[in-house]
Amino acid sequence: MLGFLIRRFAAGLATLFVIAVLSFCFTRLAPGSPFSSERQLHPEIIKAYEEYYGLDKPIYVQFWRALRGYLHLDFGPSTMYRGRSVNEYIEPGFAKSIRLGLLGAAFAFLIGLPLGVFASAHQNKALDHAAMSVATLGICVPNFVLGPLLVLLFGLTLKWLPTGLWPEDGSLKELSKLILPMITLAMVHIAYISRLGRAGMLDVMNKDYIRTARAKGLSERTVYLKHGLKNGITPVVSYAGPMVALVLTGSIVVEKVFAIPGLGQHFINGALNRDANMIMGCVLVYSSLVIALNFLVDVAYGFLDPRVRVS
């Protein structure tokens, strides 16, 4: 088991390294310089910039320096925000994004799972179709349309909810700023989760042990909730890992629409302003998270299913 874990962990690190190399190349290949402005700068000013950021050094030296920084979780100086480090942006940004992401994921489970189970209990009846249609709608509206629509409806027209910014404190009034971003973020995952939940339940309910339970004369309700649910939602649970990562990256749009200074905002601003260190920092944080989640899923499976360890 330990060997399996070590192998998986090493593979994760290797993946991260390759991602770092690839992203580094991409940031250097991208057209446009972080220092271009409306006027072509005088060469002496460009030289000053390049010296200041060490961009006059050979590329492998730059990469080596960057890599050394990453080992100490130091992503280097931002070229967009002069005199600031990328960490100053990524750390608070990540804290916000992950909180919003977890909130969105929790909400997606809370709504999606019951919806799926409910639909499976009424397979191929009108209620099933209705529930699944509602769920599928979530995949059909791009979240950059859904967000503004929710703002228009609940913020500007009904004036029920605030339309953006990060909460100032823990008061209920401030926290309500997160409701609309949370719904926008969760919508697409509600759709996926309910579909997975429905399919998982249908799968399980045809299994022999369920028939046995029924044959024992247990009530349909008990069979469904006690025996069915426990195993039926396994596909949903295994979706949880990748979903948290998806929710995080999905927050790029949501953060823009709701003016939340999260990681996604910094990533997009970094990409648009050719802030290589900012891009690298965001990519590595995102990737580490995805890899870590995959690792956890692997470990969980490893415990559950001994055969995986061998393969």
Partner 1 sequence: MAAPLELVADVQSRSPGRMAMRRFFKNRRAVICIILLAVVGSATLVVPWVTRHDYRESDWEYTYGKPNGTYWMGTDALGRDLMVRVFLGGRISFAIGFLATAVSVIIGVAYGATSAFAGGRIDAVMMRFVDILYGMPYMLVVIIIMSLTESKSVLIVFLVLGLFGWLTISRIVRGQVLSLREREFVEAAKALGVGAPAIIWRHMIPNILGPVIVYTTLAIPSVMLAESFLSFLGLGVSEPETSWGVLISEGQQSLERWWFVTFPGAALAITLFCLNSIGDGLRDAFDVQQK
Partner 2 sequence: MSSRSSLPLVLVLAAAACGKPASPAAQGAPESPARPQASAADEARRLLAEAGYPDGKGFPEFEIIYNKAEWHTKIAAAIQEMWRSKLGIKVVTRNTEWKVYLDLVQKGRFDIARRGYFGEYIDPEAFLSLFTADSGYNSGGWTSAGYDRMIFQSDRELDPAKRYALLGKAERLLLDEAPLMPLYNYIAHNLMKPFIKGVYHNVREMHPLQNVTLEGEGAPADGTLIFNISEEPHSLDPALADDIAGLKVLMHVFEGLANYDPRDASPVPAAAERWEISPDGLRWTFHLRPARWSNGDPVTAEDFAWSWRRAMSPKMPSAYKERMYVVKNARAISRGEASLDALGVRAVDDRTLVVDLEHPAPYFAQLVCLMVYYPVHRATVERHGDKWIEPDRIVHNGPYRIVEARRGDRMIFEANPRYRAADALKLKRFIFLHVTDERTALSLYETGQCHWLFRIPTDLVDQMRGRPDYMAGPIHGTYFYTFNLKKKPLDDVRVRRALSLAVDRETIVKRILRGGEEASDRLTPPLYPGYEVK
CA-to-CA distance for 233 and 108, rounded, in angstroms? 14
109 forms part of the interface with partner 1 (CB under 8 A): no
What are the beta bridge partners of residue 85? 77
- Contact criterion met (CB below 8 Å) for 309 and 4: yes
Q: Does 164 bind partner 1 (CB under 8 A)?
A: no
DSSP state of 218: -
Closest to partner 1 by CB, 93 vs 200, is 200
What values do phi and psi take at 142, rounded to 5? -60, 140
Touching partner 1, residues 285-304 (CB under 8 A): 286-287, 290-291, 294
Residue 133 or residue 219: which is nearer to partner 1 going by CB? 133
Rounded least distance, CB 248 to partner 1, Å: 9
Q: What is the DSSP string of 24-87?
A: HHHHHHSSS-TT--SSPPPHHHHHHHHHHTTTTS-HHHHHHHHHHHHHTT---B-SSSTT-BTH
Binding mask 239-268 for partner 1 (x = CB under 8 A): ----------x--xx-------------xx
Q: Work out what residue 92 binds among partner 1, partner 2, none; the CB cut-off runs from 5 to 8 Å by kind.
A: partner 2
Give dist(CA 257, CA 177) in Å, integer.
Answer: 13
DSSP states along 125-179:
SHHHHHHHHHHHHHHHS-HHHHHHHHIIIIIIIS--S--SS--SSSSHHHHGGGH
20 binds, among partner 2, partner 1, none (CB under 5 to 8 A by kind): none
75 binds, among partner 1, partner 2, none (CB under 5 to 8 A by kind): none
Beta bridge partners of 77: 85
119 part of the interface to partner 1, by CB under 8 A: no
Kind and range of the H or E element at 286?
helix 276-304
Q: How many residues bind partner 1 (CB under 8 A)?
A: 48
195 binds, among partner 2, partner 1, none (CB under 5 to 8 A by kind): partner 1
31: contact with partner 1 by CB under 8 A: yes
List Cβ<8 Å contacts ≥24 apart for 8-11: 8/295, 8/298, 8/299, 8/302, 9/295
**Which residues sit at the interface with partner 2, rule CB under 8 A?**
31-42, 44-45, 47-49, 51-53, 80-84, 88-89, 92-93, 148, 151, 155-156, 159, 162-166, 256-259, 261, 265-266, 269, 272-274
DSSP 8-class letter at 267? H
Residue with tokens 């994760």: 12
Q: Which stretch binds partner 1 (CB under 8 A): 53-61, 77-85, 125-133, 300-308?
A: 125-133
Decide: is 9 part of the binding site for partner 1 (CB under 8 A).
Answer: no
| C-alpha count within 13 angstroms, C-beta hemisphere, residue 251 | 33
Closest CB to partner 1 among 175 and 237?
A: 237
Give the nearer residue to partner 1 in terms of CB position, either 215 or 310. 310
Per CB under 8 A, residues contacting partner 1 are 11, 14-16, 18-19, 22-23, 26-27, 29-32, 124, 129, 132-133, 136-137, 139-142, 144-145, 148-149, 152, 195-196, 199-200, 203, 235, 249, 252-253, 267-268, 271, 279, 283, 286-287, 290-291, 294
